[in-house]
Amino acid sequence: MQPSMRWVIVPGFVAVAAVVAAVLWQGRQASLVPTELDAAIAAAPVRQVGADGGQWYDYQQAYFTEDMKAGRTVLVAVHADWCTDCRAQGPIITRLMKEPAYEDAVGYVVDFDSERAFLADHKVRTQSTLIIFKNGEEVGRAVAITREKDIRALFENGL
């Protein structure tokens, strides 16, 4: 009786394997066909810069490096959600970024609690640090400033 059991198990296994392979192949074929959402994502601009909307972006090393190499004015706000100075800076830096003078600038928000590599590379010791870069070089830095006139003066170093 043992030999017949082997023949019953093997065809059953082959049938199940064939069904699994067919399902996986259909899923693979479906994923190869672009959807409208895929097309919209591919066509959308990666990011909006400067006065076109005053965008601040979550820090991403690749974009930051690209902007530095391009010689752009790069505004960096080292932020922590729990920081009262950071919360005070937020509306001011957003408003300033919307001004026409910053139409070629890009702003990054660096999370103080998670972006340890950035903090070490740029010798940032505390949250609420604002740093201005121009032509790939740091041109200004301030910590815990919350008055608009002081933040504006710092930002003007990048113009």
pLDDT digits (tens, 9 = 90+) for 85-140: 999 999 999 899 888 888 888 999 999 999 999 999 999 999 999 999 999 999 99
Give percent above pLDDT 70 in the chain.
Answer: 66
Residue 27's pLDDT is 47
Structure tokens at 39: 């097309």
Residue type, 102: Y
Helix (H) or strand (E) holding 139: strand 137-143
Q: How far apart are CA 69 and CA 136, in angstroms?
A: 6
Structure tokens at 22: 């067919």
What is the CATH number assigned to the segment(s) 50-158?
3.40.30.10
Domain boundaries, the chain: 2-43, 50-158
Contact 78, 119 (CB under 8 A): yes
> Is residue 37 predicted with pLDDT exceeding 70?
no
> Is residue 51 predicted with pLDDT exceeding 90?
no
Q: How confident is the model over 6-31, as a mean pLDDT?
A: 48
- Tell whether the torsion through CA atoms of 39, 98, 127 and 119 is positive or negative: positive
